[in-house]
Amino acid sequence: MNLSDRPRRLRATPAMRELVAETSVEARHLITPHFVVEGSGVKEEIGSMPGVFHVTPDTLIEEVEADLDLGLKTHLMFGIPDHKDATGSGAVADNNVVMRAVSGLKQKFGDDVITVTDVCLCAFTDHGHCGFVKDGRILNDPSVEQLAKMALTHARAGVDIVSPSDMMDGRVGAIRELLDENDYTDTSILAYSAKYASAYYGPFRDTCDSAPQGDRKSYQMDVRNSREAVLETILDLQEGADMVMVKPALAYLDIITRVRAEALCPVVCYNVSGEYSLVKNAAAAGLVDEAAMVRENLLAMRRAGSDLIITYHGREALQKGWI
């Protein structure tokens, strides 16, 4: 055959493939989530998410210390309080579980660790919604006021990045304004800009005991839409977001690519609980090569345009040399 172009030349050996690889996944690209509960001395595996644990602020320090040795420097914390009420008052209470987690990490590790906190009311409300509820409706503006106060409590604890995940209109601007008014101008905002009303969140809601009464389709995005993701991203950036996020990841790689094309800031995606548990369960059943699948999934997210990935796979992937 007389072929001038033979692309296989650059795939001939492992060394050659490594030489021309366009995409990589490294520890610095990964953000590790943690589920922090009240009390002390707790490290309990979550049944629906093998290898993921409920921890208390003290055992969180041990987990993060081990992660730092692997190069995992960025850690996202979700607070799970004992007390829940209609307004999520625990989210803005002094010395709540999230504040203790953040302050403990910063006291121990200083700037060697980057702390991120989830800003949302769902884990703190008895109805499981991300905002205030009246007559079955989710109230936007009163919810935004509470969310901004929640972000301020995290800033007071020393958090590096607050991450509003509620999908209320205007919450990024309200958070930025309140942080700046209180001299927390250096606290960054990672906005969940394109968060879809997805079926992939099941294990997470079980983990946080935050399944809503009804659903969240009146504020989270419709899975059928893509232009809306661009609009939400533009609005969040106009309001002061420093980074933007797409959630979930695998079923929304096209959205990651669209957001990447519009945003000059870092783009983050969330490799969510359902995506994680599907891989874990398939691997446990002997149906897939877990290492190869995790690597392929993470590479796909990076290839689509994500600068950073929130994932539950990070620790194991690094420990076992999958990436």
Domain annotation for the chain: domains and CATH numbers: 24-319 (3.20.20.70)
pLDDT value of position 217: 73
Phi, psi of 266, rounded to the nearest 5 degrees: -60, 140
Helix axes 290-304, 273-284, angle to 10 degrees: 150
Return mean pLDDT, the chain. 94
pLDDT at 260 > cutoff 60: yes
pLDDT value of position 94: 85
Q: Is 63 helix (H, G, I), strand (E, B) or coil?
A: helix
Burial 124-156 (b: 16+ CB within 10 A, else e): bbebbbbbbbeeeebebeebbebbbebbbbbbe
Known active-site residue 195? yes
Category of 101 on φ-ψ map: left (φ > 0), alpha (ψ -120 to 50) or beta: alpha
List the catalytic residue out of 43, 108, 134, 195.
195
Cα–Cα distance measured from residue 95 to residue 157, given in angstroms and rounded to the nearest whole number: 8
Judge whether 207 and 52 are in contact, CB under 8 Å: yes
Phi, psi of 42, rounded to the nearest 5 degrees: -100, 130
pLDDT at 123 > cutoff 60: yes
Q: What is the mean pLDDT of residues 142-147?
A: 93
Q: What is the mean pLDDT of residues 98-127?
A: 94
List the catalytic residue out of 134, 247, 280, 320.
247
Segments in 90-139 forming alpha helices (H): 97-109
Known active-site residue 247? yes
pTM exceeds 0.85 for this model: yes
Percent of the chain with pLDDT over 90: 80
Judge whether 234 and 259 are in contact, CB under 8 Å: no
